[in-house]
Amino acid sequence: MLRHLRISALIAVALAGALAVTGCGGVPSNGVAKVGDTTITKSQFNHWLAAAAKQQAQSQPGAPTSAAVPDPPNFTKCIAEKQQQPLPSGAQKPPVAQLKAQCKQEYDGLTMQTMQFLISAEWLQQEAKKRGVKVSDAQVRTSFESQKRQAFPKEADYQKFLQRSGRTEQDLLFQVKLSVLTNQLQAKVVQGKSTVTQAQISAYYAKNRQRFAQPESRDLLVVLTKTQAKAKQALSQLQAHKAWKDVVKKFSVDTASKAQGGKLPGVTKGTQERAFDTAIFTAKKGQLKGPVKTQFGYYVFQVTKITPASQQTLAQATDTIRNLLKSQGQQKALNDFVKDFQKTYRDKTECAKGYVTTQCKNGPKPQTSAPSQPGQPQGAPPSSGGGSPSGAPPGAPPSSGGAPSGAPSGGAPSGGASGTGP
């Protein structure tokens, strides 16, 4: 009996220990989420949340540049910071309840963005490992240095960026690593999906022959007037061989063609009002025609050039069709991959209470009509245009949104070079 009690006590202690290190739903107490066997830690989350809050403050005029993360549940510091911000002339000081609501909204938004990013980064790394997609430290460093030189010609500018963004160089290196992994993963997904046979090209051409046809087009000289009387005056002067540009300048109310001396090139059938369209395509080249009544006024015109309809041959269209079918094949492969990728990793992602997103299996279901594409968390360096290195090599295969939906797009950074935050 005593032996049985001792064994029961040992089991109870073991269970207590397990519960002590495990949060809600199997997420360890030091974590915010778990993807398979990998825990996304609170340390990672806090690092990126702080950087996001700092960047958000930078984007708000009058906000303190050293803004702290909104501090739930009372948001005391956040409210105090907002109270210190200057108010527009004549504006009343907002009540504390209103400021608290703003702080909560900001915190919830930053939390959602940060969680989406951290989960997406983990999904990407796990999928890359499963498919044998690797990137070396040397590759990352080379890409990073190249982009750094383009974005920051001066070292001082780069150091200022690090201070403003709340990020470290290790964060940016990891950003580049994720971007390169994303593009290599995409390349692997579409590998072998770009083969297009001549039979496929011929079938597409036969089914879409009209897409490779050019209809007849006509170049015109036109005068548009408000009244029939003015149109007849314009016609009379043109019949007297007065220069079109002079007649157009004097009579026309159509600013577009008037600016071109009355020229209206490349008109195809069905693009003009019915009466005018009929007159254009029954007129002979060089004839003066009009006035033609339309809802816009009265046209006098002359056909100056007729370009006959043409049809591209299969041989002429082959390269265009091959590229189109190749792109479609790659896109389908990526779309199929994305659908499976999202489901697979959502099913193995569990989030702690207070950190739940649509990417978590214990979270709300994502909208199936337009899956969310988590981009950079707020505060991430810009992906182009003189901000910071984006890490996205050119020529990456197309996909829905550029990267597998649910994976970081264009190299959003994650928690440090090893995937863990400082």
Using one digit for the tens of pLDDT, what is the confidence trace for 305-348?
999 999 999 999 999 999 999 999 999 999 999 999 999 999 99
- Taking residues 338-359, what's their average pLDDT? 94
Mean pLDDT lowest among 2-11, 244-253, 381-390: 381-390
Spatial CB neighbours of 91, under 8 Å, sequence gap ≥ 6: none
3-class DSSP state for residue 279? Answer: helix
Q: pLDDT at position 289, please?
A: 96
Q: Residue 16 is inside which H or E element, if any?
A: helix 2-20
List of residues 6+ apart from 205 with CB closer than 8 A: 212, 314, 317, 318, 321
Report the alpha-carbon distance of residue 296 to residue 253 in Å, rounded: 10
Q: Which residue has tokens 């939906």? A: 405
Residue in 39, 47, 5, 12 with CA at minimum distance from that of residue 23: 39
Band the pLDDT of 25: cuts 50, 70, 90: low
Q: Give the chain's radius of gyration (CA, Å).
A: 33
For residue 164, how many other CB atoms are within 10 A of its CB?
16
pLDDT of residue 88: 86
Confidence at 390, pLDDT banded by 50, 70, 90: very low
DSSP letter at 61?
T
Structure token digits, residue 32: 């915010």
Q: How far is CA 333 from CA 133, 183, 336, 343, in A?
A: 17, 14, 5, 16
Lookup: tokens for 15? 């269970």
- Res 406: pLDDT: 43
User: Hey, which residues does 350 pair with through a beta bridge?
Assistant: 34
Question: What per-residue confidence (pLDDT) applies to 249?
Answer: 95
Vertex 285 angle, CA 284 and 287, to 5°: 70
For the segment 349-354, the average pLDDT, to the nearest whole number, is 95
pLDDT of residue 368: 59
**Which amino acid does the sequence have at 209?**
R
For residue 21, pLDDT beyond 80: no
Token digits for 13? 């202690």
Is the link from the previous residue into 291 a cis peptide, with omega within 30 of 0? yes
Is the pLDDT confidence value at 401 over 90?
no
Q: How far apart are CA 152 and CA 158, in angstroms?
A: 6
Least confident of 62-71, 73-82, 106-115, 285-294: 62-71
* Confidence (pLDDT) at 23: 43
**pLDDT reported for residue 298:** 97
CATH of domain 216-308: 3.10.50.40
User: Could you give the CA distance from residue 310 to residue 374 in angstroms, rounded to a whole number?
Assistant: 46
In which band, very low, low, confident or very high, does the pLDDT at 299 lie, cut at 50, 70 and 90?
very high
Alpha helix positions (H), 194-353: 198-207, 228-239, 244-251, 255-258, 274-280, 314-347
Q: Checking DSSP bridges between strand 310-311 and strand 288-294, what pairing results, if any?
A: unpaired
- Does 266 or 390 have the greater pLDDT score? 266
Q: What is the pLDDT of residue 62?
A: 53
Token representation of residue 226:
């408000």
CA dist., res. 70 & res. 63, Å (int): 13
For residue 60, the model assigns a pLDDT of: 65
Residue 404 confidence class, pLDDT cut points 50, 70, 90: very low
Q: Which two tokens stand for residue 2?
A: 């005593």
Res. 172 pLDDT band, cuts 50 70 90: very high
Alpha-carbon span 119 to 345, nearest angstrom:
9
Q: Which residues contact 170 (CB under 8 A, 6 or more apart)?
A: 416, 417, 422
Q: Which of 180, 161, 162 is nearest to 170 (CA)?
A: 162
Q: For 372-400, what is the mean pLDDT?
A: 34
pLDDT of residue 193: 84
Is residue 357 classed as helix, strand or coil in its secondary structure?
Answer: coil
Measured at the CA of 48, the angle between CA 158 and CA 404, to 5 degrees, comes to 95
- Residue 115 CA to residue 97 CA, distance in Å, equals 27
Mean pLDDT over all residues of the chain?
81
Task: State yes or no: pLDDT of 206 exceeds 60.
Answer: yes
Q: What is the DSSP string of 167-212?
A: --HHHHHHHHHHHHHHHHHHHHHHTT-----HHHHHHHHHHTGGGG
Confidence band, pLDDT 50/70/90 cuts, at residue 61? low
Contact yes or no for 128/90 (Cβ under 8 A): no
Domain locations along the chain? 41-83+94-194+335-422, 216-308
Cis ω for the linkage preceding 73 (within 30 of 0): yes
43 burial via Cβ count (<10 Å: 0-12, 13-18, 19+)? middle
Q: Which residue has the higher pLDDT, 47 or 402?
A: 47
The DSSP letter of residue 22 is: B
Q: Taking the model in full, what pTM does it have?
A: 0.64
